[in-house]
Amino acid sequence: MKIPWPFFLAWKQLFPSQKKVSFFSFLAVVGVALGVNVMIVVVAFMKGFQHKFREDIIDAQGHARAIPLSRTKEWPKLQQELLAQSEVLAVSPYLQGPLLLQRQSYHSVPLSIGIDLSGGKSVLPLDEFLQSGQMRMEAHNAVDVTPVPQIASLQDDVVFVSQYVANRLGVRPGAILRMGKSKGLADDQLGVKVVQLGVGVPSAEWEIVYIGDNQWSIRSAGLDFNTTLKPKDGLLDGGPGTPTFALLSPFVEPEIGSVSIYQTFRSSTVEVFSPAMIERAQADEMVPPKEVRVGGIFEVPWQGFHAEAMIGTFRLLEDVRSSTGLCDGMFLKFSSQISGNEDTLYSFCEQLELPRSGDWAFVPWFVENAWFFDLLKFEEYLMILIMVPIGLVAAFAIAIALMTTVLRKVREIGLLVAMGGARVAVGSIFCLQGFLIGLLGAVLGCGLALLFICFRDEIMSFIVVRIAGDEGKSGVAQFYDFYSLNVPYPWESSESASTFLTFGLFAVFVSTLAGLIPAWRAARMNPADALRNE
Amino acid sequence: MNSSTVLQGKELSKTFRFGNENIRVLQSINLSLPARSSLSIRGESGCGKTTLLNILARIENADTGELSWEDRIMRCDRRASRNEVAHRANFLGVVYQAYYLVPELDVLENVTLSARISGGMNQSMIERAHSLLRQMGVEGKARQIPGKLSGGERQRVAIARALLNRPKVLLADEPTGNLDERTGGEVMDLLLNTCSQEGASLILVTHNLAFARATDQQTILTEGKLNEV
């Protein structure tokens, strides 16, 4: 293939024969590459944050909420109607409002949500929230082996509270420690592990002893409890009020007499008052508070969710508010065909709302949190607004460097015209240099951005540890959760591909533009004057 | 125009304006160059020799006059057209005192640059470039960059570049001006011999009387007039 001679000369001026790369080319290409890299990485991370917030919001409130516009007891009918639609995967009715929680002289007024779990699948992945909210105990010569609480343990006299409420009231869920006194088995492989700790398990010491013939004795001297069990489905369940254990290696028989010792701590209790109860108490009516146990501590990853919050059952909320048959709304979860696209979701919500207009409003998650995404978008545009002038400054630098080249090569330009080169072709050499710098810089910048995205955890850890130290790392990660960010590669998402393409093309365009002025100057040069130039 | 004449200039005049002063450097110059011949132009510095060459090469306009490149007749008071520029690449070769080799290209790439510009770059041109470099005695330097060559070697490369497209006319503007006497003599011998072998006519601008005498026609440019010696 014949390469057009201006392209050949442009390439050779950037990458001369016998020399790998000119200093100017190296600096220009690296400059463009760094600019492209920074722009792509910043926008990709911003989009990663948006994506994460989106997932967190959907986790915290579902794809949409159905909100009654007036007090209605007709909601079970609507729930059934919604569940009958194939696009609706789950519906969770809820009650919500402020309740006063009291423990001794400590108070908290969290936003309390009562969820109806009787309808099967819940919209909210509460188990995930509980997992992140587990509070570990530290003790000498003992290990906290408390299993992560499950939403299944949510009963009418059990609540889950946010970390903030737990700290404010000084409450904790039940806990179980494996004591260092265990005999016969290695500490890290005791033969059994605790899989469930019901809220009703009292504070006591427990001994699990293998007595042979696949039989285990579970006893607690303080509680005057002693039972012998054979594992059922790999589990040792002594009934309500006892921890449930699972065999770690069902096919390995422990030595007879092997003992594991555990210490349980009963979960805290709190007293619950509703505004209605307080009003009645103010009217000198005897209103005993509702006493509930703390089943777990939860943390919702979405920062917009109330920090001071409590989750209980629907019936608990009904009970304390003395309002039966009402509901404050329903969390809705849709199939991916509906939820995957915001426009489709919006139309579907409109579709649901139309026949129930005036009674119910269906609000998609992104409408409810539009303020937050507007803020994020604004931040993203602001970043671009700051970075684009930086790109233009780089373009000016390229233009100046190419202009200097034109001035340095005046006689060469004259010679090329004398040899039969058209002026436009001679001028295009400098424009093409700008184009090549932009193109190579864009390719290198995209490559650097891919590397940055690929090794983002390592790079961020490196930076954060050097700024905040090992101790500060977890704090920073909690605030800017880089590690769980989903930053897709261009081949994984069209949005990411368009980010790469946009900034790559921007670099090529700006660099080519930077080469236009020197090109124009070279093209209008009189060859005879150029040849006379000293 | 005689069928054997490759280049002819008629009534070529050129005036430069410096402030309010008009300096007439060329006055009704008539010049005719037969095929396979050589012509030298001597004259004092600043008398207009290079300007005349530039006008003959159509890279500079004259105020009046007409120029013929073989059968192509051109008015010299207007800028060269695109066709003329394209034709120039094959019709003319140019050699300058300061060589003007492209520093980023190696010797072979410099020589073949004229073929690239004229659009005739192919394998046979590369072979011809090697052959010309051999004739010039610098074939061993084909992959070196100009910066590592001596002045004489650079000028040989420039001559090879000028001759690559088999031009009908070679314009040489003081090609030995930057060289010592011995090297200049060698380069001039090569220039004359190669032009003769290649069948190219030569217009040589020089201060050196001996080199001028080696050409078929000798002229002197004095006070804007070209006089035959």
Q: What is the dihedral of CA B179, B185, B188, B189, to 10 degrees?
A: -150
Residue labelled with tokens 């059952």: A313
Phi, psi at A345, each rounded to 5° = -60, -40
Select the residue of A411, A420, A532 nearest B118 (Cβ to Cβ).
A420
Cβ-nearest to A411 among B90, B100, B105: B100
Residues A512 and A438: beta-carbon distance below 8 Å: yes
Over residues A441-467, the mean pLDDT reads 87
pLDDT the model gives residue A153 = 81
Nearest C-alpha in B relative to A12: B104
Q: Distance between CA atoms of A522 and A308, rounded to whole angstroms?
A: 69
Bridge pairing between strands B5-18 and B64-69: antiparallel
In chain B, the percentage of residues whose pLDDT exceeds 90 is 37
> Which chain B residues are within 8 Å of A417, Cβ to Cβ?
59, 85
Give A366 to chain B, closest Cα distance, Å. 58
* One-letter-per-residue 3-state SS of A477-509: HHHCCHHHCCCCCCCCCHHHHHHHHHHHHHHHH
Between β-strands B201-205 and B169-173, what pairing exists: parallel, antiparallel or unpaired?
Answer: parallel
Q: In the block, which residue shows the tokens 């409002």?
A: A97
Compute the distance between CA of residue B129 and CA of residue B124 in angstroms, rounded to an integer. 8
Residue B196 burial (CB count, 10 A): 13
- Beta carbons of A64 and A362 less than 8 angstroms apart: yes
Asked if the Cβ–Cβ distance from A18 to B143 is below 8 Å, we say yes
Q: Mean per-residue pLDDT for A297-301?
A: 83
Distance CA A313, CA A116 (A): 6
Contact between A276 and A326 under an 8 Å Cβ cutoff? The reply is no
For residue A192, what are its two tokens?
Answer: 């059994």
**From CA A260, how far away is CA A283, in angstroms rounded?**
55
Question: Does the beta carbon of A24 lie under 8 angstroms from any beta carbon of chain B?
Answer: no
As given in the structure block, the two tokens for residue B207 are 């201060």
pLDDT confidence of residue A187: 44
Q: Does the pLDDT value for residue A347 go beyond 90? A: yes
Confidence tier at A300 by pLDDT (50, 70, 90) = confident
Residue A446's pLDDT band, with cuts at 50, 70 and 90, is very high
Write out pLDDT tens, residues A378-412. Answer: 887 888 788 778 778 877 888 888 888 888 888 88
Nearest to B100 by CA among B59, B56, B130: B59
Could you tell me the two tokens for B144? 């070196």
SS3 content of chain A, % helix, strand, coil (to 5): 50, 20, 30
B30: number of CA atoms within 13 Å, CB side? 2
Which domains, from first to last, does chain B contain? 5-101+168-228 (3.40.50.300)
Residue A412: closest C-alpha in chain B: B100
In the 8-state DSSP scheme, what is residue A130?
H
Q: Compute the mean pLDDT over every residue in chain A, rounded to the nearest whole number.
A: 84
Beta carbons of B149 and B106 less than 8 angstroms apart: no
CA distance B61 to B57: 10
d(CA B159, CA B137): 12
Among the partner residues A18, A22, A527, nearest to B106 by beta-carbon distance: A18
Contact B50 A422 (CB under 8 A): no
Contact between B113 and A419 using a beta-carbon 8 Å cutoff: yes
User: Which carries the bigger pLDDT value, residue A137 or residue A444?
Assistant: A444
- Do the Cβ atoms of B89 and A412 come within 8 Å? no
pLDDT(A135) > 70: no
pLDDT of residue B144 exceeding 50: yes
The tokens describing B217, both together, are 């026609």
> Which residue did the predictor score with more confidence, A58 or A249?
A58
Where are the extended beta strands (E) located within B44-150? 64-69, 72-75, 92-96
> Is the Cβ pair B102, A412 closer than 8 Å?
yes
Mutate: best of A23, A411, A415, A433, partner B, most B CBs <10 A: A415
Q: Which residues are A263's β-sheet partners?
A: A177, A205
More confident residue, A292 or A393: A292
| Residue B120 in tokens | 């005739």
Report which of residues B214 and A142 the model is more confident about. Answer: B214
**What is the structure's pLDDT at A188?**
46
Rg (CA), chain A: 34
Q: Do A420 and B90 touch (CB under 8 A)?
A: yes
Q: pLDDT higher for A246 or A119?
A: A246
**CB B85 to CB A17 under 8 A?**
no
Which residues on chain A are in Cβ contact (under 8 Å) with B57? 418
Give the closest of A2, A8, A418 to B59, CB-based. Answer: A418
Closest partner residue to A417 (CB to CB) among B59, B109, B144 is B59
Q: How far is A32 from chain B (nearest CA, A)?
A: 23
CB proximity A208 to B under 8 Å: no
Nearest CA in chain B to A5: B116
A89-127 pLDDT, tens digit each: 888 899 988 899 999 999 999 989 998 877 656 777 778
CA-to-CA separations, A156 to A116, A151, A311, A317, A438, in angstroms, rounded: 11, 12, 11, 9, 65
Answer yes or no: do B96 and A532 touch at CB < 8 A. no
* pLDDT for residue A133: 59
Question: A411 and B98: CB-CB below 8 Å?
Answer: yes
Name residues 507-526 of chain A within 8 A of B (Cβ). 526
User: What's CA B90's distance to the chain center, in Å?
Assistant: 13
- DSSP H or E run through A334: strand A329-334
Name every chain B residue with its beta carbon within 8 A of the beta carbon of A531.
Answer: 50, 54, 59, 96, 100
- Between these two residues, A456 and B13, which has the higher pLDDT value? B13
HEC assignment per residue over A371-414: HHHHHHHHHHHHHHHHHHHHHHHHHHHHHHHHHHHHHHCHHHHH
- Give A210's contacts (C-beta < 8 A, 6+ positions apart): A184, A191, A216, A253, A254, A255, A256, A257, A258, A259
pLDDT at B77: 86
CB-defined contacts A:B, below 8 A: 84
- The residue that leads in pLDDT, A477 or B117, is B117
Distance in angstroms (rounded) separating the CA atoms of residues A518 and A470: 52
The 10s digit of each residue's pLDDT in B40-65 is 999 988 888 989 999 999 888 899 99
Q: Per the CB < 8 Å rule, is B109 touching A18?
A: no
Whether residue B229 contacts residue B215, with contact meaning beta carbons closer than 8 Å, is answered with no
pLDDT, position A436? 92
pLDDT number for residue A534: 61
Q: Count other C-beta atoms under 10 Å from residue B145's C-beta.
A: 20
Is residue A11 within 8 angstroms of chain B, CB to CB? Answer: no
3-state secondary structure of B155: helix
Quote the minimal CA–CA distance from B113 to chain A in Å: 8
Tell me the average pLDDT across B194-203. 90
Minimal C-alpha gap between A431 and chain B (Å): 17
Q: What is the pLDDT of residues A155-187, one digit of tens each?
A: 888 999 998 899 999 998 888 888 876 555 544
- Conformation bin of residue B223: beta by default, left when phi > 0, alpha when psi is -120 to 50: left
User: Closest Cα partner for A441 from A39, A32, A35, A34?
Assistant: A32
CB-based contact A528 B144, cutoff 8 Å = no
Contacts of A413 in chain B (CB under 8 A): none
Mean pLDDT of B100-104: 89
Of B62, B112, B113, B69, nearest to B88 by C-alpha is B69
CA-based nearest distance A410→chain B, Å: 10
User: Residues of B with CB below 8 A from A420's CB?
Assistant: 85-90, 92, 114, 117-118
A100-103/A106-108 β-pairing? antiparallel
B221 in Cβ contact with B48 (< 8 Å): yes
Q: Are strands A290-298 and A158-162 parallel, antiparallel or unpaired?
A: parallel
Contacts of B97 in chain A (CB under 8 A): none
Cβ-in-10-Å burial (0-12, 13-18, 19+) of B220 comes to middle
Whether pLDDT at A16 is above 90:
no
User: What b/e sequence results for A147-167 when a residue is b if at least 16 CB atoms lie within 10 Å of its CB, and e otherwise?
Assistant: bebebebbbbbbbbbbbbbbe
Q: A259-263, A472-476, B210-214 — which is least confidently predicted?
A: A472-476
Each residue's pLDDT tens digit, B151-196: 889 988 998 998 898 899 999 998 888 888 888 888 888 889 888 8
SS3 state at A199 = coil
Task: List the one residue out of B176, B207, B209, B213 whose CA is nearest residue B191.
Answer: B176
Token pair 């769980």: residue: A484
Question: Residue A272 in contact with residue A320, Cβ under 8 Å?
Answer: yes
Q: Closest to B85 (Cβ–Cβ): which among A2, A19, A422?
A: A422
CB A133 within 8 A of CB A72: no
Cβ of A424 under 8 Å from any chain B Cβ?
Answer: no
List chain A residues with CB under 8 Å of B106.
17-18
- Rounded CA separation A524/A521 (Å): 5
ipTM for the predicted complex comes to 0.85
Nearest Cα residue to B30 out of B16, B13, B11 = B11
**Encoded amino acid at A292, one letter:** V
Provide the token pair at B209. 């009387």
Mutate to test the interface with A, among B111, B117, B178 (most CBs of A within 10 A): B117
Contact between A416 and B117 using a beta-carbon 8 Å cutoff: yes
Q: Which residues of B touch A427 (CB under 8 A)?
A: none
Q: Which of A342-346, A373-377, A468-472 has the lowest mean pLDDT?
A: A468-472
Q: For chain B, which residues lie within 8 Å of any Cβ of chain A, measuring from their own Cβ?
A: 50-51, 54, 57, 59-60, 82, 85-90, 92, 94, 96, 98, 100, 102-106, 109, 113-114, 116-119, 121, 143-145
Q: What is the pLDDT of residue A476?
A: 67
* Chain A interface, best mutation among B26, B50, B51, B102, by max A CB count within 10 A: B102
Query: Cβ of A188: how many Cβ atoms within 10 Å?
Result: 6
Q: Does A420 touch chain B (CB under 8 A)?
A: yes
Contact criterion met (CB < 8 Å) for A528 and B100: no
- So what's the pLDDT on residue A44? 84
